[in-house]
Amino acid sequence: MDLAYLRAHPEHLPTFLTHQRIRETPVSGGSICSASRLTLDDGNSVFAKTWPQGAGTPMPDGFFAAEANGLRWLREADGVPVPAVVAALPRLLALDWVDPGPPDAEAAESFGRQLAITHRAGADHFGAPWTGFIGALPQDNTPVADRPWSAWFAQRRLVPYLRLSVDNGALSAAEVALVEQLIGRIDQYGGDEPPARVHGDLWPGNLLWGADRRCHLVDPAAHGGHRETDLAQLALFGGAPHLDRVLAGYQQEWPLTDGWSARVPVHQLHLLLVHTALFGAAYRQAVAGAARQALVAA
């Protein structure tokens, strides 16, 4: 099997893997999926993801289809490089292989400019025309055209994960009260804009810095959303390398509106609530801190 054959017949990939006709090398694939580098007969490689055997939860229907849809949609923007989808099967996703490399300041600034181009490609609505996931959790992508960003964000990106975090005991009454207070004031933060074409889960671990000295987007929860959400997520969990240069490049291409820096914790709260919903109370203080910062800024 060579790359041309695989592109033409992606449905044959599981058979070749089952019969060990392709060299498979395990690689890092994030916290959910099993991942490997597949080396084909012509020397080309692809990156493959599968739902791990023996996982505690079954793979949601449409999980890899949603990721493939998001990757293709982001790639169509012709902004940040996105690996091409080689095969999108019910239980397997294969992408063009990107040789990893170290981040540098020049690549970071270029990434910022390219991210602005991706965002500017826009979306018809908040949400997306495909079923959404963030991590292993469902994400409501039902398209919405008649609400401002703030109301949509509160109801589709904050409330569902707050409820899940309450149900699993990750948040106490004190944190819940803070988040609910913020949701009650959501229209006070301003910054409403038409929907941008966003990655949706853009913490630094979903940036793939390549040997080509470019930054590539992977593992999206793509949808029409607010561009500030992607930028705020880049600052989480230690922050993206050379984040100051990323922001400088972005501002050169598409300047942010007044007050964007004060809204950062509002946008971060979505992904932090996803983490309390998925991983429990370890992220409780991060949720509380973001909510407090946002309330002070309102």
**How would residue 288 be classed by pLDDT, with cut points 50, 70 and 90?**
very high
Instruction: Report pLDDT for 152.
Output: 95
Instruction: Report pLDDT for 30.
Output: 67
Q: In the predicted model, is pLDDT for residue 144 greater than 90?
A: no
Percent of the chain surpassing pLDDT 90: 85
**CB hemisphere CA count around 174 (13 angstroms):** 6
pTM to 2 decimal places: 0.95
Question: Hey, is 102 helix, strand or coil?
Answer: coil
| Per-residue pLDDT reduced to its tens digit, 223-232 | 999 999 999 9
Q: In the predicted model, is pLDDT for residue 181 greater than 90?
A: yes
Measure Cα distances from 20 to 1, 8, 24, 35, 39 in Å.
12, 20, 8, 16, 11
| Per-residue pLDDT reduced to its tens digit, 232-276 | 999 999 999 999 999 999 999 999 999 999 999 999 999 999 999
Measure Cα distances from 143 to 92, 195, 271 in Å.
27, 11, 20
Mean pLDDT score of the chain: 94
**How would residue 76 be classed by pLDDT, with cut points 50, 70 and 90?**
very high
Cβ proximity of 179 and 173 under 8 Å? no
Identify the structural domains of the chain with CATH numbers, from first to last: 3-96 (3.30.200.20), 105-297 (3.90.1200.10)
Q: In the predicted model, is pLDDT for residue 57 greater than 90?
A: no
- d(CA 63, CA 130) in angstroms, rounded, equals 10
Instruction: Report pLDDT for 56.
Output: 67
196 token code pair? 């941008």
Instruction: Report pLDDT for 271.
Output: 98
